[in-house]
Amino acid sequence: MMMRRVMLLLLCVSAIALRAQAQVTTFLTDEGQVVNNATLGVSIVFPKGWAIIAAKEQCGVNAICPLENAKDTFQEVLSLMWNDAPANLSDDEVIKGIIGDMKTAFPGCTILGTYSGTIAGVPTTSVVTSLMSADNPPQPRKMVSFFLVKNRVAYNVMCMSTPDDYDKYKAAFQACAKSLQFSLRQPPPPPPPVRTTWKDEGFSIMGPQGWAVKEAAWPKLPGKVVSFIRPTTGPTDPVSEMLFVYTDPFTTPPTLEKYFQDQRALLQKSVMGYKELAAGSLTVNDHPGKFVQYTGKNNGTLLAMLRCVIMDDKRAFVLTCTSTPENYAKYKDLYQQAIMSLEVLK
């Protein structure tokens, strides 16, 4: 409750309209956790290991520090918030209005210092305050906020801690605020894939590098299923893309067409809301195959999927790729590279 009041009251000047539905993406770099807001063309870097949470009001993004131990009762917070600045106010008037709202919103709020500087070449006012939380009983908090206005958008990088831990996190707070820039950071190129061999399953493949690899038996599927799973970056990235492969041996080999049609029928029966988008043939390292692209729901989540069947005279290799519909184009080439890298062991 306290965090929600801070984010609403500190960051929203009356008559400022929210910029809803911002296009926010996150990715990990050597610097830390990058958050890009493509709608505004800004980015910021939060510390590694902090949980990234989009503000429910769609006007910002928050990073929450993990608890250090059982005695640690407060999670430090870093937030970047953005709001449209009223056209009839100057930049200084917008910032003074936010600071005034902050002083009246929290009884006992005391300004410890106000400083001028720049972030990304933009004049910035930083304010250090002490205040009491809305807990019962109230707890002391210390906060520094960096206010600036760019292109009629008011930004606030807000950093909150306990008074005892403030100096400990001060450098991280300042580094986060200074990382704000008015251009998007580019994600690092994916590392080259590495070929991995599963001798018992009869294949090797170059799965996406950096994705988690799991091996397990799945109900109703033969043998071992090898899965490549993309790690998620936080609550704003809830669905992991996945590529999984299994081998289906047979005594009397069916034709590729017969096996593929059986797979198609199985998908139509087992995938809720199955909708076929495309189908065709391919050849993978001299082995014939067929594929079908489709959409359907898994546990209520709509997914875009691709299933490929590759055959030799002893077995079929079934590869399935899953993604959200909006991310499918982003990972399509990566999936195709992995599929075409499949090598059948003799």
**What one-character-per-residue DSSP string does 98-139 give?**
HHHHHHHHSTT-EEEEEEEEEETTEEEEEEEEEEE-SSSS--
Nearest CA to 339 out of 318, 324, 325 is that of 318
CATH superfamily of domain region 194-344: Mog1/PsbP, alpha/beta/alpha sandwich (3.40.1000.10)
Residue ranges of domains in the chain: 2-178, 194-344
On whether the CB atoms of residues 210 and 190 are closer than 8 A, the answer is yes
4-29 average pLDDT score? 53
pLDDT higher than threshold 80 for residue 18: no
pLDDT, position 56: 56
On whether the CB atoms of residues 192 and 209 are closer than 8 A, the answer is yes
242-255 average pLDDT score? 93
pLDDT, position 291: 97
pLDDT, position 73: 85
Q: Give CA–CA dist 227/321, Å, rounded.
A: 10
232-244 average pLDDT score? 83
pLDDT, position 198: 93
* More confident position, 69 or 343: 343
Q: How confident is the model at residue 55 (pLDDT cuts 50, 70, 90)?
A: low
pLDDT tens sequence across 118-160 = 999 999 999 999 998 878 888 899 999 999 999 999 999 999 9
pLDDT, position 135: 80
Per-residue HEC secondary structure of 233-265 comes to: CECCECCCCEEEEEEEECCCCCCHHHHHHHHHH
207-232 average pLDDT score? 89
Please report how many Cα atoms fall inside a 13 Å half-sphere around the Cα of residue 103, on the Cβ side: 13
pLDDT, position 108: 81
pLDDT, position 318: 96
**In this structure, which amino acid lies at residue 263?**
Q
CATH superfamily of domain region 2-178: Mog1/PsbP, alpha/beta/alpha sandwich (3.40.1000.10)
pLDDT higher than threshold 50 for residue 344: yes
pLDDT, position 78: 95
For residue 218, give the 3-state DSSP assignment: coil
Q: State the pTM of this model.
A: 0.62
pLDDT, position 15: 32
DSSP per-residue string spanning 261-304? HHHHHHHHHHSEEEEEEEEEEEEETTEEEEEEEEEEEETTEEEE
On whether the CB atoms of residues 33 and 50 are closer than 8 A, the answer is yes
pLDDT, position 270: 92
Q: How confident is the model at residue 6 (pLDDT cuts 50, 70, 90)?
A: very low
Q: For residue 338, give Cα distances in angstroms to 68, 99, 212, 310, 343.
A: 40, 54, 15, 13, 10
194-344 and 2-178 share a CATH fold? yes
Question: Mean pLDDT in the chain?
Answer: 88
pLDDT tens sequence across 84-123 = 999 899 999 999 999 888 888 776 889 999 999 999 999 9
316-341 average pLDDT score? 94
